[in-house]
Structure 1
Amino acid sequence: MKILSYNINKCTQKKIDYVLSMDADIMVLPECARYDQIKLPKGVSMEWIGNNSVLWKGLGVIWRNQHEVVIAPWYNNEHKYILPLIVDRSFLLFATWPTIIPTRKNTYPQILLSALKEYEKYIVTYPTLICGDFNCFIGQSGVSKKTGTFEQCIEFLQEKRLFSLYHERNGEEFGKESKATYYHLFKEDKPFFIDFAFTNIQTFAYELGRWNKEMSDHCPQMIVL
């Protein structure tokens, strides 16, 4: 099974068609347009979480219909953009895009850590893949140990035996990555590593794709289970 994680930045039909051409079974797409704003071919389904006043920018998950994908019955909308999905009745997929909601003042790491703790009992019980645009990086400004840091998120996941595929396969430390997953304002001199795939599932392959600035300010990740 191939799972694509790709923040596609200002979704258009051209970008959806491009993503579909990458031949993944499941596509986790932060900044995706709502299903009625795009055209999907036969044989695929979609879930979308977002703000109905911003139809072009939510968290989308598209999958091919030979797979069964359902939202977990214990999904808590308080963690709106961290969406737990049950795939083929065999593993959990958390489509992840910590997003600051105007009515709340939590930082991205706080949002992520709160959701991880909420879903802890499921994460430790079932085969789990957590992937997407985490909006988090080591040394992030505006956070502290009292409020929650990305380092604490990493520690939490590693304690639960979920490890970053990029870092495990490349032998690199968090915050010292040789590659980037995001180029702020589409500028090559502003690279960040903020897209991740943490899992306790045996994987066949993992690839961090090249940056295609015509499509996004992010790079795609492909996980093969």
Structure 2
Amino acid sequence: MKILTWNCNGAFRKKYQEIERFQADLYVIQECENPEHTKGEYRNWAGSYLWYGDNKNKGIGIFAKNGVEIQRLDWKDNSLQLFLPVRVNNQFNMIGVWTKQANSPTFRYIGQLWKYLELHKEKMAAGSTVLCGDLNSNKIWDVWDRWWNHSDVVRELDAVNMQSLYHLATGEEQGSESAPTLYLQRNLKKAYHIDFAFASEGMFNPQKDTITVGSHNPWLEFSDHAPVIFTIAC
């Protein structure tokens, strides 16, 4: 199965054609509009989808193609932002992620994911799970006296047998990624790897499966993020 995750930087109704060529089975899109509140080709393209957000113009959507079936999972989020958990083909769970500041004075961005894992890591450990999206985080921003750093989240995921597919495939270390996924303010000198895909053990075989990160050219024409495309066994 092929999955694409991308922070489209808004106005996805004008950009969805750019990702169609990947012919993915699932598209996990951050900062996209709710198709329910749009008209025309985007709404038709959305087809089978689930969407979540507190702003109809910028939320997180999961779009299923090629006969793939998705069902919303009733996993509470305690107002953490933003997480969209779904069941895929009744075979595995997938959590679409777009971490936000969430008006939290302490647990912002990666802290939101840390708290979400505390709620659901037992369920994630119990079955095959994929977690992917814009984490707004990297090991380079770890703070020495904080217990919910990026590295802490990676360890929490490892404890439930989930690993970063990019790092499995490349052998690179967290914080030393050679392929950026974000170009802050579309500046090539402000390049960071903050979009990730994690999966349970056995779902990704580096000898057979692939993960790729889009280049700044042409993606900066459409967003400050590049898409991450990966395959899994299911």
Give TM-score scaled by structure 2 length: 0.87
Give the AA of the match of 2:174: F
Which residue in 2 is equivalent to 1:138? 139
Shift in CA distance, 17/104, structure 1 to aligned 2, threshold 3 Å: farther
Shift in CA distance, 46/77, structure 1 to aligned 2, threshold 3 Å: farther
Q: Conserved in 2, the CA contact under 8 Å of 1:37 and 1:56?
A: no
Which residue in 2 is equivalent to 1:150? 150
| Rounded Cα–Cα distance in structure 2 between residues aligned with 1:51 and 1:43 | 19
Q: Conserved in 2, the CA contact under 8 Å of 1:164 and 1:198?
A: yes
Q: How many residues align?
A: 222
Q: Conserved in 1, the CA contact under 8 Å of 2:110 and 2:150?
A: yes
Cα RMSD for the two superposed structures = 2.0
2:48 corresponds to 1:45: yes
Q: Conserved in 1, the CA contact under 8 Å of 2:180 and 2:191?
A: yes
Of residues 192, 202, 205, the one that matches 2:204 is: 202
Which residue in 2 is equivalent to 1:63? 64
Q: What pairs with 1:1-225 in structure 2 (closer than 5 Å)?
A: 1-35=1-35, 36-37=37-38, 39-41=42-44, 44-52=47-55, 55-64=56-65, 66-102=67-103, 105-140=106-141, 143=143, 145-146=145-146, 148-200=148-200, 201-203=203-205, 204-211=209-216, 212-225=219-232
Deviations 1:28-80 (CA, angstroms, capped at 9, x unpaired): 0011111123623368222111123xx32111111126111011123435234
Q: Conserved in 1, the CA contact under 8 Å of 2:70 and 2:89?
A: yes
Deviation at 1:171, TM superposition (A): 0.8
Shift in CA distance, 18/138, structure 1 to aligned 2, threshold 3 Å: same
Shift in CA distance, 8/43, structure 1 to aligned 2, threshold 3 Å: closer
In terms of mean alpha carbon deviation, does 159-168 or 14-23 score higher? 14-23
Deviation at 1:145, TM superposition (A): 3.8
Q: Which runs of 5+ in 2 are unaligned?
A: none
Give TM-score scaled by structure 1 length: 0.90
In terms of mean alpha carbon deviation, does 93-102 or 199-208 score higher? 199-208
Deviation at 1:158, TM superposition (A): 1.4
Q: Conserved in 1, the CA contact under 8 Å of 2:88 and 2:94?
A: yes
| Rounded Cα–Cα distance in structure 1 between residues aligned with 2:147 and 2:170 | 30
Moved over 4 A (4+): none
Give the AA of the match of 1:174: Q
Q: Conserved in 1, the CA contact under 8 Å of 2:53 and 2:59?
A: yes
Local SS of the residue matching 2:44: coil
Deviations 1:92-117 (CA, angstroms, capped at 9, x unpaired): 11101111223665221211100011
Local SS of the residue matching 1:51: coil
Q: Conserved in 2, the CA contact under 8 Å of 1:110 and 1:147?
A: no
| Rounded Cα–Cα distance in structure 2 between residues aligned with 1:44 and 1:224 | 22
Deviation at 1:137, TM superposition (A): 1.1
Local SS of the residue matching 1:215: coil
| Rounded Cα–Cα distance in structure 2 between residues aligned with 1:100 and 1:144 | 20
| Rounded Cα–Cα distance in structure 1 between residues aligned with 2:2 and 2:138 | 26
Identical columns (%): 28
